Amino acid sequence: MEKGDTRNDHMQLLLEKYLNNSYSKEDLQEIFNNAKAGSDELFEALKFHWSSIKENAVEDEEDWEMLFTSIMERGKVVESLEQKQGEEEPASEEEPASKIYHLRDTQRRWMMRIAAAAVIIFAVFTLVFLFRGHDHQQIAQHTLNVPKDDIAPGGSKAILTLGNGEKIILDTASNGTLAQQGGIRVIKTGGQLTYSSGGNSTKLLYNTITTPKGGQYQMTLSDGSNVWLNAASSLRFPAAFSGKERKVELTGEAYFEVAKNKEKPFIVSANNTSIEVLGTHFNISAYADENAVKTTLLQGSVKVSKGDASTLIVPGEQASVSNSDNKISVQKDVDLDEAVAWKNGKFIFQSADIKSIMRQLERWYDVSVVYSKDVTNEEFVGSISRQVNISQILEMLEKAGSVDFKIKGRTIIVK
């Protein structure tokens, strides 16, 4: 994709919002309109996304044929083609619209373009799952058979608790100004919350945003810092920052893009661990059911402290603070994609055991997990979209290792 092309940049942004599950109805409609029109910008943006994961893509010719056939059978391309054909040239009685494979050259080229785009979309959202040491196993050929007793993925859901105790359910609240706190307006736009400064605020009012299991949310704090909150998490923060520091309290997991301010360090307190920055991008995983608070740095520098112990980390490093003591360990050259996969709409597992995987599925799909007996200690490697139903992930795990699952209501039984 050429840089500087504002139309391509706009379409790229739309697709990124779609992949991150932060799109609005208007964004989605624009993507679909471009797909129907055979947009050059959409096609180039799709190719860009495809190139980033093509090493995991289906490359065998038979598999590509299977993908194309599956998409055509589901009617997504057929329906669009029939609509397009009806707009350009009504079908005659001798040649009904169902004969879409025998179109004139211009229509055939249009059909293949949309079909190619559909294959790319299909492949992007059905990535490879594999068991370590084994060949890739393709999820694509299993996506059409959805069990009746299945569970859909989570979405943008959160509750905002204001300083006066008022609670606002963000996923059902209307867009616009939700509250006024001193000189700060609280504004909802789509799946995002913004604290907009409209003047000085002398009173320190703490707010809390909480995501349930199966929920996530994005927000902008009053200093311009952006926060993405993962499922089953909460962030306590002042509506407006005052004093010599910007301090927030986190439970669960969040990704931060902190606005630079050398005069006011930004401090995150998470499970007795302190993470201090001036302006940087980093991810903190601080779930109570994990054995450590993990801070992964993408940009800038971060100071991680607990008790008398502290350390500085640089981009590409991850600091792990044990929940049982004050020990801090630093891992270099970590997989940054894995650390922020949830924020980018994916699950990425690198040598993950089944229990750590199931903890992630519990949070995102709002399920309970029961182990019927001792389970495999095999390690799994792979990636998949967070937008698929849970059955697709469980089926791939079954095919990759020595484990079986049963869905019973919102309970997953691991055998």
Instruction: Please spell the DSSP secondary structure of 299-337, one letter per residue.
Output: ES-EEEEETTEEEEE-TT-EEEEESSSS-EEEESS--HH
Distances in Å between the Cα of 344 and the Cα atoms of 43, 228, 286, 348, 350 are: 21, 10, 19, 10, 16
Residue 103 lies in a domain: yes
CATH of the domain at 371: 3.55.50.30
Report whether pLDDT(387) > 80. Answer: yes
3-state SS class at 144: coil
End residue of a domain, out of 294, 313, 338: 338
Residue for token digits 């029109």?
37
CATH of the domain at 308: 2.60.120.1440
Residue span of the structural domain in which 374 resides: 344-414
Same domain (yes/no): 192, 331:
yes
Same domain (yes/no): 228, 364:
no
Report whether pLDDT(374) > 60. Answer: yes
Same domain (yes/no): 24, 131:
yes
Q: What is the pLDDT of residue 45?
A: 73
Max mean pLDDT range (9-13, 105-109, 145-149, 401-405): 401-405
- β partners of residue 293: 321
Residue 138 lies in a domain: yes
Q: Mean pLDDT lowest for which of 143-157, 177-191, 365-379, 392-406?
A: 143-157
Same domain (yes/no): 321, 278:
yes
Residue 396 lies in a domain: yes
C-alpha torsion 275→288→233→204, nearest 10: -50
Max mean pLDDT range (2-11, 55-64, 175-184): 175-184
Q: What is the pLDDT of residue 69?
A: 45
Instruction: Specify the higher pLDDT residue, 56 or 9.
Output: 9
End residue of a domain, out of 318, 338, 358: 338
- Percent of the chain clearing pLDDT 90 (strictly above): 51
Same domain (yes/no): 245, 180:
yes
Same domain (yes/no): 228, 369:
no
> Tokens for 7?
């139309």
Same domain (yes/no): 312, 367:
no
Residue 1 lies in a domain: no
End residue of a domain, out of 338, 368, 389: 338
Query: Stretch 128-144: mean pLDDT, rounded?
Result: 33
Same domain (yes/no): 180, 257:
yes
Query: Stretch 295-316: mean pLDDT, rounded?
Result: 95
Query: Stretch 385-407: mean pLDDT, rounded?
Result: 90
For the chain, how many structural domains are there in total?
3
Q: What is the pLDDT of residues 59-107, one digit of tens each?
A: 444 444 444 444 444 334 334 434 444 444 444 444 333 222 333 344 4
